[in-house]
Amino acid sequence: MTNIFFATDADIAQVWQWLFEVPGMKIFEDYSSPDKPNRWFNTWDEISDALDSESRWLLAAWPETAGGRPRVDKISFDADTQRKLGAKGRTALRSPATINVRRNNDQNGCLASASIACWTEKGARQRSILSEEFIDEVDWAKLRSIVSKIQRQVIKSSPAKLRSYPVMPDAYERFRAGEINLWNWGEACSYPSPLVTLT
C-alpha cells in the first residue's frame, strides 16, 4: 500500500510525529550504522534529531499492536567495503508490518513526491522474501487502519493537491511563494498552475 503526496522536510517531520503519536508505535533504524546495532527511538527529540541527519533515510515505523515484531537480518560487507568503511557489516530489521515514509530526491530542481508505504497482505505473500509464518503474525486489518489514518491526516492537513495528490502545508506555502516548483512526473509545475487546486 503506497500513498503519494508532496512534502518538504518540515512536512515529513509532521508525518513522523503523527506516527510517533500512534499508541504502540515504535520508531527505529531499519538499517543500522556499520558495526552498530539498530537504534530504537523513545522520544520525539531523538526522532527529530535523526530527521535532521543522514539517519532520516533509515527510519521505519512498526505498530506493535499489528504484530510481526521486526527480526534482525545480519548483512556482511564484502572485502572492499570492509576496507573502505573499516567495518564488517550492519544489521537490518525486517518486518511485514513496517511502515516507511520517504521523500524522493529533487527532480530537475523541483520537489518530487513523497510516500507512506507498507506491505499489503497480498503483496507481502506474492513479492516479499519473508516467510509465510512471519507474514501470518501480522494483523493486516490493524496495519491498514493505522496507515489509512495517517493518510487521512496528510489529506486533511493539505491545503492543495497536484492533480489528485495532496500538497502538504509547508510545500504549498513554498510553492505559492515561488520558492519551489513541484515535479509533475516529467515536467516542472510552477505557481500558478491549473494542475494545482485548493482543497
- Cα(8)–Cα(172) distance, rounded to whole angstroms? 9
Asked whether the predicted pLDDT for residue 16 surpasses 80, the reply is yes
pLDDT band at 55 (very low <50, low <70, confident <90, very high): low
Residue 4: DSSP 8-state: E
Nearest to 146 by CA among 172, 122, 169, 118: 118
Q: What is the DSSP string of 48-102?
A: HHHHTSGGGGGEEEEEGGG----EEEEEEPPHHHHHHHT--EEEEEE-TT-BEEE
- 59 beta partners: 29
| b/e burial code for range 154-182 (CB count within 10 A of at least 16 → b) | beebbebbbeebbbbbbbbbbbeeeebbb
- For residue 104, the model assigns a pLDDT of 81
pLDDT digits (tens, 9 = 90+) for 80-118: 999 999 999 999 999 999 999 998 878 889 999 999 999
pTM attached to this predicted model: 0.92
- Cα(73)–Cα(94) distance, rounded to whole angstroms? 7
